[in-house]
Amino acid sequence: MKKIIGVLMSFVLVLCLVTSAASANSKKNNDPFKDKRMHVQIVLFDGFDLLDALAPYEVFAAAGMYSNGAVTVELVSAEGKRSVPSGLNGPALEAQAALDPKRPGIILVPGASGKPAGNSEDTIPNILKKAMMTGLSEKLKQAFNNEEVIVATVCGGTLLPAMGGLLKDRHAVTNQIGMEALGALGAIPIEARVVEDGPRFVSGGGVTSGLDVALYLVDRELGPQIANAVEQLFEYEKRGTVWRAEGIAPIHFDEN
Amino acid sequence: MKKIIGVLMSFVLVLCLVTSAASANSKKNNDPFKDKRMHVQIVLFDGFDLLDALAPYEVFAAAGMYSNGAVTVELVSAEGKRSVPSGLNGPALEAQAALDPKRPGIILVPGASGKPAGNSEDTIPNILKKAMMTGLSEKLKQAFNNEEVIVATVCGGTLLPAMGGLLKDRHAVTNQIGMEALGALGAIPIEARVVEDGPRFVSGGGVTSGLDVALYLVDRELGPQIANAVEQLFEYEKRGTVWRAEGIAPIHFDEN
């Protein structure tokens, strides 16, 4: 009897070991982040806002450092390699390559830096209008049509695809001063720091929300550990719940 | 009698008007922010951190826009006008002029972007050491000695004057990963987001604290209304109480 129990116990032990090994294996194979690679193109245009572009740039660059190169990031322009002046007579940055809407990964569009309103050439609306008269307009359309591209916009950058008619009935956010214009261009403006409309379009509010857009995408695409390491290095914690059109919608308490 | 009262009343009225006008005048003359002008030099060096330098740059630039030019800001380097590469193979920025430690105003020193530790050339400590072997070292000393200059540092930027022996027994903060080194260099490391040691030296912690250092200086030098306008535009609220060596010190609760 003792012998039978001994054999049975061994059998159970072997079974346990085999099962747990198989489970560990399947866990490894099912890890959605395994061998993940991500390329980010940050789009520059004349009059772009430095911080809108470079806060996400630096989040992605640090994510690349911590992930041993799983993220790569480059500055691009619709025209290709050139020196691109930022707004408000700010410093120029060198675009390293042409924006390629066929390349899988993230395409991030910053806003403009300029006077919030007025009639002069250096107002934000005029800088954005001018940008949409370049090749950027057609390339943004191709990016939105490419199933392998995630488009992210920051601040006034959300108004660029909106001006191109690409945000009809889509949820999005931009800088507070541009929310009315965003609605007038056919989008559905949402009061949130970061808005996700389908996995392939993520927009951020004012200037510094670019940090939150980039941290959210690093978390979603590469997992929370890399995003957390970047947060610690930057001494910044991602702000705001990312809004999505799902779950229970809150009661809208009207004033009347 | 009525006539006398009438004359008296007129006299009182005139007196009131004169007094209130004088008071308004004196209030105007005593306004410490009246006709205030402020020039900011942001110091670039090989391997500098983009966000450390450009987050404050953009705060000061926006403050300049909202104050009709009361703030001016430029990128400088110890060597003068040149293209300065940022760290981690990041984009270069054009320094527009030579750092001038004799010029009154703010001199802001960013940190480096690189690997937090290790032996390779591209670690943050090695990039900072290299920077202090340039003319920057002597110019920082002159800046600290100039009564009309406020020195502000962000992130690893605090380690530069510390390496130059300029922070002996002075309160300061740097990125969390550099706090031990800061103490070893003779400074008194303080756990705060922004630390003020006398009105002429303000330091900030990790990368994004550059926003808080700049917003604090705009508030202090130009008043809260301009700082608040920048906060609204950037959708960012200054974080943390600025630490100063005054007031009641908290009880230090030891673990044992």
pLDDT of residue B26: 44
Residue B129 tokens, joined: 């050491």
- The residue of chain B nearest to residue A66, with distances taken between CA atoms, is B115
Neighbours of A91 (CB within 10 A): 21
Q: How confident is the model at residue A8 (pLDDT cuts 50, 70, 90)?
A: low
Flag if B94 and A92 touch (Cβ within 8 Å). yes
Contact (Cβ atoms closer than 8 angstroms) between residue A213 and residue A230: no
CB A171 within 8 A of CB A245: yes
The tens digit of pLDDT for each residue in A200-247 reads 999 999 999 999 999 999 999 999 999 999 999 999 999 999 999 999
Q: Name the pTM for this structure.
A: 0.86
Give the integer Cα–Cα distance in Å for B238 and B213: 9
**CA–CA min distance A236, chain B (Å):** 6
Residue B151 pLDDT > 90: yes
In chain A, which residues have their Cβ closer than 8 Å to the Cβ of B91? 75, 93-94, 96
State pLDDT tens for residues B79-125: 999 999 999 999 999 999 999 999 999 999 999 999 998 889 999 99
Residue B225, pLDDT > 50, answer: yes
Q: Which two tokens stand for residue A157?
A: 């950058």
Q: Which residues contact A127 (CB under 8 A, 6 or more apart)?
A: A46, A47, A87, A112, A113, A114
Residues of B in contact with A61 (CB under 8 A): 88, 90, 113
Q: Label residue A241 left, alpha or beta by phi (over 0 means left) and psi (-120 to 50 means alpha).
A: beta
Residue with more model confidence, B197 or A24: B197
- What is the percentage of chain B residues whose pLDDT exceeds 90? 83
**Reported confidence tier of residue B23, pLDDT bands at 50, 70, 90:** very low
Tens digit of each residue's pLDDT (9 = 90 or more) over B195-220: 999 999 999 999 999 999 999 999 99
| Angstrom distance (rounded) from CA A76 to CA A100 | 8
Q: List, in order, residues 6 or more apart from B183 with CB less than 8 Å away.
A: B189
Distance from CA of B235 to the nearest CA of A (A): 5
* Interchain contact B174–A (C-beta under 8 A): no
What pLDDT sits at residue B34?
A: 80
Per-residue pLDDT at B27: 46
Beta strand pairing status for A82-85 and A92-95? antiparallel
Cα–Cα distance between A147 and A131 in angstroms, integer?
Answer: 24
pLDDT, position B9: 54
Partner-chain contact B91 A94, CB within 8 Å: yes
Strand partners, B74: B41
d(CA A47, CA A156): 12
| Residue B256 reports pLDDT greater than 60 | no
A49 CB within 8 Å of a chain B CB: yes
What was the pLDDT predicted at A10? Answer: 57
| Residue to test with chain A: of B42, B54, B232, most A Cβ within 10 A | B54
DSSP codes of every residue in B156-168: GGGHHHHHTT--T
Query: In this complex, do B208 and A234 lie within 8 Å of one another by their Cβ atoms?
Result: yes
State the pLDDT confidence band at B29, using cuts at 50, 70 and 90: low
pLDDT value, residue A172:
98
Q: What is the mean pLDDT of chain A?
A: 91
- Other C-beta atoms within 10 Å of B88: how many? 20
Measured over the CA atoms of residue A197, residue A201, residue A203 and residue A208, the dihedral's sign is positive
Residue A192 pLDDT: 97
Q: Which segment of A9-13, A25-29, A44-48, B145-149 scores lowest on mean pLDDT?
A: A25-29
Query: Partners of B82 in the beta sheet?
Result: B95
Q: Residues A173, A189: contact at Cβ < 8 Å?
A: yes
Return the residue matching tokens 């042409």. Answer: A98
Measured CA to CA, the distance from residue B166 to residue B175 in angstroms comes to 18
pLDDT at A31: 78
What are the backbone angles phi and psi of residue B232, rounded to the nearest 5°?
-65, -45
The answer to whether residue A6 scores a pLDDT higher than 70 is: no
Q: Enumerate residues 192 to 231 of chain A having a beta carbon within 8 A of any beta carbon in chain B.
A: 193, 205-209, 211
The ipTM is 0.83
CB A182 within 8 A of CB A214: no
Q: What is the DSSP letter of A195?
A: E
pLDDT confidence bin for B33, thresholds 50/70/90 = confident
Put simply, whether A69 touches B (Cβ < 8 Å) is no
From the list A54, A96, A208, the residue facing B54 with the nearest CB is: A54
Phi, psi (rounded to 5 degrees) for A97: -155, 175
SS3 A169: coil
Taking 70 as the threshold, does the pLDDT of residue A128 lie above it? yes
Residue A29: both structure tokens together: 């194979």
Q: Quote the radius of gyration of chain A (alpha carbons, Å).
A: 23
